[in-house]
């Protein structure tokens, strides 16, 4: 007989943007228990925690803090007895700038957040994911930058490419855990706002214009739209997707989009 318990999902970068949308969808539409990890706790996340006292727990922790993140994952499993899915969403865009003037220390800090935190989270949760009778799932929130090459985005391009590579390797090493890297599209978040206001100083004019025109023409993706795909994959991603880099609006993700 199938287990009737609620699935337990850990979400990083849960205080705003895609992470907040995913957390809300897991709680309100997909009947999951959520452990939300974020560097700070926004008013929106605070309101969500008050509305879902028994199914949402929040942890203030930078994902670059390996000790803190490991302890947060251990506490999540101890509290809820299970971890069935993790959504690795926390990330930064900075530093922007050309490679010939790169601040190497800033790149290292970027990789601490966008890449090495993934390793920390996986090491801390893989035992629980393997044990999950619901089937362990890992969703890496990636980007088209992983296969693109936007000028001045060197650190971000590289870290998202490394994320996709990690996803592929994880799928080979952990056949009983489904691992998917997802491109969420050009989402209407604070990162997009920062690109429009600050990106011109670093980016090629045509690249900056692409982002400003997407905003002005209403073409940005709503966090709830690609967020629903991310949330659904964390609960029921098919094994055929494991190791793949997929776009939220592709045919492969049709079954996970909001009906």
Q: What is the pLDDT of residue 1?
A: 38
Contact 82, 6 (CB under 8 A): no
CA distances from 22 to 19, 135, 154, 224 (A): 5, 19, 27, 7
Q: What is the pLDDT of residue 213?
A: 79
- Which residue in the list 57, 160, 179, 242 is annotated as catalytic? 160
156 catalytic? Reply is yes
Dihedral, CA atoms, 14, 209, 153, 256, nearest 10 degrees? 40
For residue 67, the surrounding DSSP H or E stretch is: helix 66-80
- Which residue in the list 117, 132, 156, 226 is annotated as catalytic? 156
Q: What angle do CA 133, 23, 61 make, to 5 degrees?
A: 95
- Which residue in the list 38, 57, 117, 142 is annotated as catalytic? 142
Q: What is the pLDDT of residue 259?
A: 83
Q: Alpha-carbon distance 232 to 229, whole Å?
A: 5
Contact 44, 21 (CB under 8 A): no
Would you list the domain boundaries of the chain? 8-187+222-242
User: Taking the model in full, what pTM does it have?
Assistant: 0.94
Q: What is the pLDDT of residue 185?
A: 93
For residue 183, the surrounding DSSP H or E stretch is: strand 178-183
Q: Alpha-carbon distance 168 to 227, whole Å?
A: 22
Q: Alpha-carbon distance 177 to 136, whole Å?
A: 5
**Strand ranges across the sheet with 56-60:** 56-60, 33-38, 8-12, 85-88, 137-141, 178-183, 245-247
pLDDT in tens, the chain (259 residues): 345 899 999 999 999 999 999 999 999 999 999 999 999 999 999 999 999 999 999 999 999 999 999 999 999 999 999 999 999 999 999 999 999 999 999 999 999 999 999 999 999 999 999 999 999 999 999 999 999 878 999 999 999 999 999 999 999 999 999 999 999 999 877 777 777 777 766 778 877 777 787 778 888 899 999 999 999 999 999 999 999 999 999 999 999 999 8
Chain centre to alpha carbon of residue 218: 23
CATH class of 8-187+222-242: alpha beta
Contact 192, 226 (CB under 8 A): no
């Amino acid at each position: 007989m199938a287990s009737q318990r609620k699935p337990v999902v850990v979400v990083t970068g849960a205080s705003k943007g895609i992470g907040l949308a995913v957390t809300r969808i897991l709680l309100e539409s997909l009947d999951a228990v959520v452990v939300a990890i974020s560097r700070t706790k926004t008013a929106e996340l605070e309101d969500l925690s008050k509305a879902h006292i028994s199914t949402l727990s929040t942890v203030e922790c930078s994902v670059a803090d390996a000790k803190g993140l490991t302890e947060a994952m251990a506490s999540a499993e101890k509290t809820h007895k299970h971890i069935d899915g993790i959504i690795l969403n926390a990330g930064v865009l900075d530093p922007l700038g050309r490679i010939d003037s790169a601040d190497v220390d800033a790149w290292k800090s970027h990789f601490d957040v966008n890449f090495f935190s993934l390793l920390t989270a996986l090491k801390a949760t893989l035992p629980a994911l393997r044990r999950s009778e619901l089937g362990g799932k890992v969703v890496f929130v990636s980007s088209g930058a992983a296969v693109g090459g936007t000028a001045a985005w060197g650190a971000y391009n590289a870290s998202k490419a490394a994320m996709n590579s990690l996803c592929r390797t994880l799928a080979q090493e952990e056949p009983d855990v489904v691992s998917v890297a997802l491109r969420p599209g050009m989402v209407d978040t604070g990162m997009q706002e920062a690109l429009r206001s600050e990106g011109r100083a670093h980016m090629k004019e045509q690249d900056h214009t692409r982002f400003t025109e997407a905003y002005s023409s209403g073409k940005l993706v709503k966090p709830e739209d690609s967020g629903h795909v991310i949330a659904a994959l964390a609960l029921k991603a098919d094994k055929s997707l494991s190791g793949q880099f997929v776009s939220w609006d592709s045919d492969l993700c049709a079954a996970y989009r909001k009906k």
